[in-house]
A and B are shown apart, each in its own frame.
Chain A
Amino acid sequence: MKAALMAGLAGILFSLGLGLGGMTDPAKVVGFLDVAGDWQPGLAFVMAGAMGTYALLRRLILRQRRAPVLAPTFPALGNARPDARLVAGAALFGAGWGLAGYCPGPAFTSVGSGANPALLFVAAMVGGMLLFQLWEKRPVPARVQAPVPQR
């Protein structure tokens, strides 16, 4: 219960950050990716601010604590090598991101805006995730390599 409450609070804070940062404005996202046109560098500051803050606090948290406050262990993250699956997935994601200007976080936040295109986008995004699950469960030849651990 406490864990769900904290996750909900983190979600709200994350969403406010996305809105303040400009990630919920598809035109700004497209402007950021439009390096050959009227490039808008603003969103680079969102990524730098988020990454810098997380890098700093993450180190501090992992140094100070043996376990999270409400969970038994910190996530074990491997150092698996990049592979074709990773690159193909990221490539497809980038194409969809550039097309509509929504990545998953801002898309969920935009559901709160009540705008129809955002709702349709999120429905399709969830559909894409379901398609992936069906595709992943397809019968495969035994030689195919093991799936990469989830992050």
Chain B
Amino acid sequence: MTQFLPPLLGGILIGLASSLLLLFNGRIAGISGIAGGLLLPPRGELAWRAAFVGGLVGGGLLLRALFPQVFGAPVVTGAGLTVLAGLLVGFGTRLGNGCTSGHGVCGLARGSLRSFVATGTFMVTGALTVFLVHHVLGGL
């Protein structure tokens, strides 16, 4: 059971961070929406969005200094596949209005039907992709 304690604590921290953003800034902690909005920010929207994404990177720097083992090795090798995956994630999260945080955490927590459908969909296509890559093709 103890191996599930860090994931649970990590999740609680994510929930706390999302709650802080709601309490102080009145914003939904959807990472793809916050980052996507940086590309063409409406008036007065640049600072908090940049600060939040900067905080994500800053937290990564802290983790690198304190617990570098949290960063695992990449599963795709090769620039082509990495770029393809990044393009799919960037385009898909904007088209579907959210990702694991906006739909999977914040949306589900408020009982949104759209988020329920989106989360179900990306879980299924994620699992199908893993099945195809690792069990049908035997890895890439």
Residues of A within 8 A of B (CB): 1, 3-28, 30, 33-37, 41-58, 61, 65, 67-75, 77, 79-82, 85-105, 107-115, 117-118, 120-133, 135, 148, 150-151
Contacts and interface: CB of A to CB of B under 8 A. Distances in A.
B92 A90 contact: yes
A71 B9 CA distance: 29
A54 B18 contact: yes
Nearest to B69: A25
A11 B52 contact: yes
Contacts of A11: 17, 51-56, 58-59
Contacts, number: 502
Given A53-B15, A70-B25, A129 B91 contact: yes
Contacts of B129: 33, 94-95, 97-99
B40 A58 contact: no
Nearest to B21: A10
A129 B96 CA distance: 11
A47 B116 CA distance: 13
Contacts of B54: 8, 11
B70 to A, nearest CB: 4
15 contacts: A6-B24, A19-B71, A20-B67, A24-B63, A49-B11, A54-B105, A54-B106, A65-B23, A81-B114, A90-B125, A92-B91, A97-B100, A113-B60, A132-B90, A132-B95
Interface string B17-38: 1111111111111111101110
**Shortest beta-carbon contacts, A-B, top 3:** A112-B60, A11-B55, A128-B90
B26 A104 contact: no
Contact of A89 (B14, B61, B92, B130): B92
B96 A92 contact: yes
A21 B7 contact: yes
Contacts of A108: 31, 35, 53, 56-57, 60
Contact of A45 (B8, B15, B48, B74): B8
Given A37-B135, A111-B60, A94 B70 contact: no
A34 to B, nearest CB: 5
B74 A92 contact: no
